[in-house]
A and B are shown apart, each in its own frame.
Chain A
Amino acid sequence: MTTLTTEHARAWADRFVAVGAERDTELTELDRKAGDGDYGTNLRSALRRAAVNLSAGPASPHEVFLAVSEAFLNTGGTSGPLFGMWFREFAKAAKEKDVTAAVLGEAATNAVAVVQRLGKAEVGHKTMVDAMVPAAEALTAAAARGAGVSDALAEAASAAHAGAASTEKLLAKRGRASYVGEHARGVIDPGALTVAYFFDAAAPPRN
């Protein structure tokens, strides 16, 4: 598949909403250890809004991404609005355009730049950025090789998982975990893990 269809985008978003709900306890537990424990509550509330927005039947990949983005921008906390702005770049890139791997790579690159500018986080600060950057690089590299959308997204998922795993050993420099110092070492950043789950959701679950 060389471009992202509306059906694929919708299935991707629906799976992300479902996975977020399934993993809620795990993500909350990570945040309880390394932050203030409200990550799961905010994510759940954002995903509930996303499900409502998606049920309105978005008619293009642009509208699918926008439905998810708007749900997060209507959510409190700090990770919610950052995710909202991240998804928003995917929506912008997909507007009136065929969504190829190259378009996704460009979107992911712009999206992480927006998150870094607003959240003032670099790679290695133990935040969502640690998964967003490698995912964007993987998408861009896959597109440069001429990979299709599904292959590029699978590579982004692997890269995001590796990035999320790398946060386990880090000492937080930004975000809530930076307030608890050494207590957060040994805990994967829930924001980075959410990014990995988002790219996982692009492919149907393997049996």
Chain B
Amino acid sequence: MSARQFVNDPDEFVSQALEGLQLAHPHLVQVSTDPALVVRVAKDGEPPKVALVSGGGSGHEPLHTGFVGPGMLDAAVPGAVFASPTAYQVRAGIKAADRGRGVLLIVKNYTGDVLNFSIAAELAREEDIEVEIVLVDDDLATDGGDEGGPGRRGTAAVVAVEKICGAAAERGASLAELAELGRRVVSNSRTMALALQACTHPGQQRPSFDLADDEVEFGVGIHGERGIGQRPFGPASELVPALAKPIIDALGLARGDSVIAIVNGLGSTHALELSVVHRELSAFLDGIGVRIERALVGSYVTALDMRGCSITLVRCDSTLLELWNAPVRTPALAW
């Protein structure tokens, strides 16, 4: 069976989605299409703050465009589906967001994103805009690669970085403080994901890989690529500990530790399923004495219409927790 999607023209997929975002959230975001940017609507009388800019390939929505607004990003720079925005596009995002106190770039660790955001940072610095980069590399499935290789991919921990740094920026933190804070969140976050079914690119007829009915793909990323291996399909009570265990080991979590848990759908996983995943995660962490202080359960960092989920744990102290709990008002995250 072919995969059917709500698409008019695959070439216009991202730009038409951005038009929809603008129409849905005129009070929060200002969308421009050439270059493609989503910028927070500035309110009169707001004191200048350090601006937060993120972005990357499209297809991961609501990341990053849905996280523009008070308490999170000042601008998001969307590329084509699964392709980095260009260096000039990122530079335009930096200039649109800058309020004179510097710009923090939050970049998921992919070769194209790192290169284009780094170039944009250099170009902006030449125009006397202070820029710092926080690199997010939380995906455990890509841990332990070659020396000098691309390293771990960036996935759902980017939500925690954007939320926590966003809250600190609203309170007047400096660029250097925000960069340090963002790196602290990254170093305390790890993620593992599994897919029940691959995603289908807009306009394509077939999913990006095939899976047998009795297996799941373990360690997938967010670009429809295969993971690190297949495992037998089973009840959530078996699949969830298999995701959580390596994260606990990698972070060295022990009895008495506190975490923020992000149970994330990869695109077409039902909210009821994600709640079951969270139930199993809670039981598993409870069993080893790790306390979930706050949980975010829903589809926030997606791989188009992939069926599957990721689990991210962020080891937290009272500072990180307090910033996570601070108010936020964006199209996709608000409390």
Q: In the complex, which of the residues B79, B83, B86, B115 contacts A119, with contact meaning CB atoms closer than 8 Å?
A: B115
Which of A25-33, A69-77, A132-140, A156-164 forms part of the interface with chain B? A69-77
Q: Is the interface of A mostly helix, strand, loop or mixed?
A: helix
Asked if B155 is at the interface (CB within 8 A of a chain A CB), the reply is: no
A73 x B87 contact (CB < 8 A): yes
Asked if B118 is at the interface (CB within 8 A of a chain A CB), the reply is: yes
B119 x A73 contact (CB < 8 A): yes
A78 x B112 contact (CB < 8 A): yes
Asked if A81 is at the interface (CB within 8 A of a chain B CB), the reply is: yes
Asked if B84 is at the interface (CB within 8 A of a chain A CB), the reply is: yes
Cβ of B146 to closest chain A Cβ, rounded Å: 9
Residues of the A chain whose Cβ atoms lie less than 8 Å from the Cβ of B116: 81
Asked if B237 is at the interface (CB within 8 A of a chain A CB), the reply is: no
Asked if A85 is at the interface (CB within 8 A of a chain B CB), the reply is: yes
B88 x A76 contact (CB < 8 A): no
Complex Cα spacing A78 to B115, Å? 7
Asked if A61 is at the interface (CB within 8 A of a chain B CB), the reply is: no
Q: How many A-B residue pairs have CB under 8 A?
A: 39
Asked if B80 is at the interface (CB within 8 A of a chain A CB), the reply is: yes
A79's closest neighbor in chain B, by CB?
A: B115
Within 8 A of A (CB), among B77-110: 79-80, 83-89
Q: Is the interface of B mostly helix, strand, loop or mixed?
A: helix
Q: A70-B88, A74-B88, A76-B112 are in contact. Are A84 and B83 (CB under 8 A)?
A: no
Asked if B111 is at the interface (CB within 8 A of a chain A CB), the reply is: yes
Complex Cα spacing A82 to B119, Å? 9
Residues of the A chain whose Cβ atoms lie less than 8 Å from the Cβ of B88: 70, 73-74
Asked if A144 is at the interface (CB within 8 A of a chain B CB), the reply is: no
A84 x B119 contact (CB < 8 A): yes
Cβ of A171 to closest chain B Cβ, rounded Å: 13
Asked if A52 is at the interface (CB within 8 A of a chain B CB), the reply is: no
A84 x B111 contact (CB < 8 A): no
Asked if A59 is at the interface (CB within 8 A of a chain B CB), the reply is: no
Residues of the B chain whose Cβ atoms lie less than 8 Å from the Cβ of A85: 119
Complex Cα spacing A81 to B84, Å? 11
Q: A84-B119, A85-B119, A118-B119 are in contact. Are A76 and B86 (CB under 8 A)?
A: yes
Chain A proximity mask over B242-257: 1 for CB below 8 Å, otherwise 0: 0000000000000000
Within 8 A of A (CB), among B168-188: none
A118 x B112 contact (CB < 8 A): no
A76 x B115 contact (CB < 8 A): no
Complex Cα spacing A120 to B86, Å? 19
B86 x A78 contact (CB < 8 A): no
Q: Footprint of A on B, CB under 8 Å?
A: 79-80, 83-89, 111-112, 115-116, 118-119, 123, 148
* Known contacts A76-B83, A81-B87, A81-B119; 7 further A-B pairs (Cβ under 8 A): A70-B88, A73-B119, A75-B86, A81-B116, A85-B119, A118-B118, A120-B148
Complex A-B, nearest 8 residue pairs according to Cβ-Cβ distance, in ascending order: A81-B87, A74-B88, A73-B87, A73-B88, A81-B119, A78-B112, A74-B86, A78-B115
Q: Footprint of B on A, CB under 8 Å?
A: 70, 73-78, 80-82, 84-85, 118-120
Q: What are some 22 contacts across the A-B interface (CB < 8 A)?
A: A73-B87, A73-B123, A74-B86, A74-B87, A74-B88, A74-B89, A76-B80, A76-B83, A76-B84, A76-B85, A76-B86, A77-B112, A80-B86, A81-B87, A81-B115, A81-B116, A81-B119, A84-B119, A118-B115, A118-B119, A119-B115, A120-B148
